[in-house]
Structure 1
Amino acid sequence: MILVLRALGVGDLATAVPALRGLRAAYPTKELTLAAPAWLAPLADLVGGVDRLVDADGLGHLPWSGPGPTLAVNLHGRGPQSHRMLAGIWPDRLLAFANPKAGHHDGPVWDDDEHEVDRWCRLLAWYGIPADRTDLALRRPEPGALPSGVSIVHPGTKAPERRWPPARFAAVARELAARGHRVVVTGSPGERGLAEEVARAAGLPPGAVLAGRTGLGELAALVAHARLLLSGDTGVAHLATAYGTPSVLLFGPVSPALWGPPPDRPWQQALWVGPRPPGDGRTVHPALAELGVPTVLATVDRVEQAVPRPVSRLVPAARDRAGRPAPAGPAVR
Structure 2
Amino acid sequence: MVRKSDPDARISFLATSAGIENQLVPPRGYDLLTVPKAAIPRGISKDLLLLPLNLMRAVSVTRRKIAGADVIVGFGGYLAGTAYIAAKLSRIPIIVHEANAKAGLANRLGSFLTDDVALCEQTLGIGKGVVIGLPMREALLTWAHRIRTDPIESRTQARRALGIEPEKQTLVVMGGSQGSLRINDAIAKALDQILANDIQVVHAVGGRNVLPTKRPGYFPTAYLNQVELAYAAADLLIARSGAATCQETLAFGLPAIFVPLPHGNGEQELNAAPLVKVGAGVIIRDELLDGETLGQTSIEILKDEERLGRMRQASAQLARLDAAQELAGMVIRVTDGRA
Displacement of 1:182 in angstroms is 1.1
Which amino acid is 2:260 matched to? F
Task: Tell whether 2:281 aligns with 1:268.
Answer: yes
Contact 1:171/1:293, CA 8 A, preserved across alignment: yes
Aligned to 2:190: 172
CA contact (8 A) 1:184 1:208 kept: yes
Q: CA deviation at 1:150?
A: 2.6
Aligned length: 253
2-side partners of 1:294 and 1:67: how far apart?
56
Structure 1 residue 177, shift from structure 2 partner:
0.9
Quote the residue 1:35 is aligned against.
13
Deviation per residue, 1:183-234 (Å, 9 max, x gap): 122134333x1x41xx57xxx349722224x42xx12221232122223345
* TM-score, with structure 1 as normaliser: 0.54
Identity %: 12
Q: Which protein is richer in helix relative to its size?
A: 2
Question: Which residue does 1:139 correspond to in 2?
Answer: 141
Aligned partners of 1:38 and 1:54 also within 8 Å: no
Write the distance in 1 (CA, Å) between the matches of 2:243 and 2:258: 11
Residue matched to 1:328: none
Question: SS of 1:175's equivalent?
Answer: helix
- Please tell me whether the aligned partners of residues 73 and 95 of structure 1 are also in contact (alpha carbons under 8 angstroms): yes
Superposition deviation, residue 179 in structure 1:
0.6
Corresponding letter in the other structure for 2:234: A
Q: Is the 8 A contact 1:69 1:91 kept in 2?
A: no
In the TM superposition, residue 133 of structure 1 has moved relative to its aligned partner by: 4.3
Contact persistence 2:174–2:205 (CA under 8 A): yes
Q: Secondary structure at the match of 2:186?
A: helix
CA contact 1:155–1:231 (8 Å) conserved in 2: yes
Q: Deviations over 1:224-263 (max 9, x none)?
A: 3212222334588444344232221212424444332633
Question: In the alignment, is residue 118 of structure 1 matched against residue 118 of structure 2?
Answer: no
Equivalent-residue separation in structure 2 for 1:63 and 1:106 (angstroms): 16
Please tell me whether residue 154 in structure 1 is matched to residue 165 in structure 2. no
Is the 1:153–1:185 Cα contact (8 Å) retained in structure 2?
yes
Distance 1:227 1:319, change over 3 A: same
Contact 2:12–2:31 under 8 Å retained in 1: yes
The one-letter code sitting in structure 1 at the alignment partner of 2:172 is: I
Q: Which residue of 2 aligns with 1:225?
A: 233
Structure 1 residues 64-107: Cα deviation after superposition (integer angstroms, max 9, x where no partner): 8685333223321486424235457x4532345998xx899634
Alignment partner of 1:118: what SS? coil
SS in 1 for 2:190: helix
Listed as ranges, the matches of 1:1-333 within 5 Å are 31=9, 33=11, 35=13, 37=21, 53-55=30-32, 60=37, 68-77=68-77, 80-87=81-88, 90=90, 92-95=92-95, 106-107=113-114, 117-119=121-123, 125=129, 130-133=130-133, 138-141=140-143, 143=158, 145-146=161-162, 147=164, 150-154=170-174, 158=178, 163-164=181-182, 166-191=184-209, 193=210, 195-196=211-212, 199=213, 204-205=215-216, 208-212=219-223, 214-215=224-225, 218-233=226-241, 237-238=245-246, 239-254=248-263, 255=266, 256-260=268-272, 262-263=274-275, 264-272=277-285, 288-301=286-299, 303-304=301-302, 305=304, 306-308=307-309, 311=312, 313=316, 317=321
Distance between the aligned counterparts of 1:157 and 1:225, measured in 2? 19
| In structure 2, C-alpha distance between the alignment counterparts of 1:185 and 1:103, rounded to whole Å | 37
Shift in Å, 1:303: 3.9
Preserved contact between residue 74 and residue 84 of structure 2 (Cα < 8 Å): yes
CA separation in 2, counterparts of 1:91 and 1:134? 27
C-alpha deviations, 1:269-304, integer Å up to 9, x for none? Answer: 2222xxxxxxxxxxxxxxx24323333234325544
- Contact kept in structure 2, 1:140 and 1:243, CA below 8 Å: no
- Decide whether the 8 Å contact of 1:153 with 1:183 is kept in 2: yes
- Preserved contact between residue 121 and residue 133 of structure 1 (Cα < 8 Å): no
Larger Rg: 2
- Letter of the 2:141 counterpart: R
1:241–1:178 CA distance, 2 compared to 1 (3 A): same
| 2:204–2:220 Cα contact (<8 Å) kept | yes
Structure showing greater relative contact order (alpha-carbon pairs closer than 8 Å, 6 or more residues apart): 1
SS at match of 1:209: strand
Distance change (3 Å), C-alpha of 1:107 and 1:91 = closer
